[in-house]
Structure 1
Amino acid sequence: MTFRTLPKVELHLHIEGAAPPRLIADLAKQKSVDIAGVFDERGNYAFRDFLHFLKVYEAATQVLQTPEDYRRLTLAVLEESASHGVVYTEAFLSPDFCGGGDVSAWREYLHAMREAADQAERDIGITLRGIVTCVRHFGPEQAKRSARCAAETADDWLCGFGMGGDENAGEQGDFAYAFDMAREAGLRLTTHAGEWRGPEEVRAAVRDLKVERIGHGVRVIEDPALCEELAEAGVVLEVCPGSNVVLGVYPKLAAHPIEKLRERGLQVTVSTDDPPFFHTDMTKEYEGLARVFEWNEDDFMALNQTALAAAFCDDATRKRIAKKLETA
């Protein structure tokens, strides 16, 4: 099996976190922005641990200052994803980095990203849909501003709302107002949980925010009863094995619970999270799962069918992507 060319669906990708280091370095030079400490001597992103990763991530976004920067970024990210067989991807887009939560500014950034997405779909056949994402450690009030941006621009393209950032900042329920606002606008919901905090964090996310997908969620494996509850409810996990290993959630891929989660009946998908930060891509993710857990063609076909069923896109888009997966 050639993993690189296998058609794939990815549901958990941060647009800034997928920025090629060269693009960020070039923009910094053009704009005379000092981003010392962002890269190592080989030009790769450099960080020590998760909290330092967040600081480096936010430092790198300093050079993304205009809608045109985000147009370039989106096109570069989609070109890289498509080169690894991704035919459909959902990316987290944060108004905090695109206009500071101002709706008018956000519309301009969103227009630029959609232009790039249209170009990529036309030229290289990859489909992008957007999920507005608030940043947990920026606090609940800022999250409300992000949710307002999402609600004002919700449509078939901007189809979801979620939350990333430091899982140890506050509680899931602190952000219920923002999630309620997004839900009322017709957006579907996901949130990061169960990566750094334990199973109770996932339980709180489902209970307090009423999400249908969980970003990461891997630590639910520590609570068999919760695994059963999530499996029965059909909650989908956006699992990012490479990210979990690099950040030290698990010491190596062989220790990762993705196979045990599947055995418990949970619906799992596979994504790259912030691929250049974690030295991964969808090809490497698939190769690792095949090597370590002996996943075969049927496993990967089922994986992508699960991801497509869980995608937040409209039915017409889902049917179109399903045809691309059938070619596998």
Structure 2
Amino acid sequence: MVAMAELHCHIEGAAAPELVERQARKYGADTSRFIRDGAFVWEDFTTFLAAYDFSADLFRDEEDYALLAEHYLTGLANDGAIYSEFFTSPDHARRAGLSPETYTNALGEGMRRAKQATGIESRMIVTGVRHFGVESVEDAARFAVNCGHPLVTGYGMAGEERFGQHADYARAFDIAREAGLGITVHAGELVGWESVRDALDHIRPSRIGHGVRAIENPELVKRIADEGVVLEVCPVSNIELKVFPDYASHPFPELRGAGCRVTLNADDPPYFHTSLKKEYEVAVEHFGMDAEDLAEVTRTALAAAFVDEETRARLEARLDG
């Protein structure tokens, strides 16, 4: 397996079942509704969110968050990843009873430990939650700009795609862009191609989280390819959430064949019974990709990573070496 790199993962959604069970013992919680035989169980998007929220609630203090980042990144490195970016949420920090600064610093400590142990490089993307409204999303952008943490290098927006219009949130992204942060935004997952078009028109991101519904409009696919926007594609997540019925229907090969810059990512890995390694394996089994193709995907991710050029060169040397 070639060296891997990930651009799209939600850190609260990256907590492995065994780690969640460990946290549940710490806080006296019962996991039987959401974890069975060492795996998360859910039936639809509503129960997925219930499982996610239950597990996320078991991370409450600084050491919990340091452990979360360390555990995820160490496992990723052991699978062969050299780089990871994950989404963080100031809103979640406040709900957990921590300041966004304390939460970010704690995650940063876990990232430091993982790098020291395995050599994996990682960065944080602060995200606003779309369905919390414009003011909340702008607050997240201001936090991203002002927090001063060296590992916060990007800003994005996640949440319910059917809430609001991309134009409503343009100011938040302007705040982040003007401060030099990398820009990504979720679009074109549970909502159709128009979501991707509107993101390009109003947010002007260098990357789009998912973006796969762009396949519904050939002119939009051409625009994505022409503009060099990178798609953070999460194939297993798309199948599990029934965005597409099966891998034969998934547009990853078609988007790649049309010249779009595509990457492979695990989204909320344990909830979809996946990992970054599995996403690469799916690409081989279902999309007919070989080692050279996978290396190209990793190279695309490193080229699009929100890192300084010295770090990028070092990562690219690891891939080529």
Q: 1:138 to 1:157 in 2, by over 3 A?
A: same
Confirm or deny: 8 A CA contact 1:154 1:185 kept in the other structure.
Answer: no
Map residues 196-275 of structure 1 onto 2, 5 A cutoff: 196-275=190-269
Map residues 277-296 of structure 1 onto 2, 5 A cutoff: 277-296=271-290
d(CA) in 1 for partners of 2:154, 2:256: 25
Q: Are residue 311 (structure 1) and residue 305 (structure 2) matched? A: yes
Map residues 63-142 of structure 1 onto 2, 5 A cutoff: 63-100=58-95, 105-142=99-136
1:145, distance to aligned residue in structure 2 (A): 2.1
d(CA) in 2 for partners of 1:154, 1:215: 24
d(CA) in 2 for partners of 1:254, 1:67: 43
Q: 1:175 to 1:56 in 2, by over 3 A?
A: farther
Q: 1:172 to 1:54 in 2, by over 3 A?
A: farther
Q: 1:56 aligns with which of 37, 51, 56?
A: 51
Give 1:84's aligned amino acid. Answer: D
1:269, distance to aligned residue in structure 2 (A): 0.4
1:33, distance to aligned residue in structure 2 (A): 4.0
Residue 152 (structure 1) aligns with: 146
1:155, distance to aligned residue in structure 2 (A): 5.5
Compute the TM-score of the two structures, normalised by the length of structure 1: 0.93
Q: Which stretch has the larger CA shift, 54-63 or 274-283? A: 54-63
1:100, distance to aligned residue in structure 2 (A): 4.5
Superposed CA deviations along residues 69-98 of structure 1, whole A, max 9, x for unmatched, are: 100100110111112111001010111112
1:289, distance to aligned residue in structure 2 (A): 1.3
Q: 2:22 aligns with which of 23, 26, 33?
A: 26
Residue 188 (structure 1) aligns with: 182
Q: 5+ unaligned residues in a row in structure 1: which ranges? A: none
Give 1:14's aligned amino acid. Answer: H
Compute the TM-score of the two structures, normalised by the length of structure 2: 0.95
3-state SS in 2 of match to 1:237: strand
1:220, distance to aligned residue in structure 2 (A): 0.5
Confirm or deny: 8 A CA contact 1:21 1:44 kept in the other structure.
Answer: yes
Equivalent residue pairs, number? 321
Q: 1:47 aligns with which of 14, 37, 42?
A: 42
1:101, distance to aligned residue in structure 2 (A): 10
Q: 5+ unaligned residues in a row in structure 2: which ranges? A: none
1:47, distance to aligned residue in structure 2 (A): 1.9
d(CA) in 1 for partners of 2:54, 2:256: 37
Q: Which stretch has the larger CA shift, 119-128 or 137-146? A: 137-146
d(CA) in 2 for partners of 1:132, 1:118: 18
Q: Which stretch has the larger CA shift, 161-170 or 218-227? A: 161-170
Identity %, equivalent residues: 42
d(CA) in 2 for partners of 1:51, 1:124: 36
Confirm or deny: 8 A CA contact 2:59 2:96 kept in the other structure.
Answer: no
3-state SS in 2 of match to 1:92: strand
Name the Cα RMSD after superposition: 1.8
1:57, distance to aligned residue in structure 2 (A): 1.4
1:124, distance to aligned residue in structure 2 (A): 0.6
Give 2:101's aligned amino acid. Answer: R
Confirm or deny: 8 A CA contact 1:101 1:142 kept in the other structure.
Answer: no
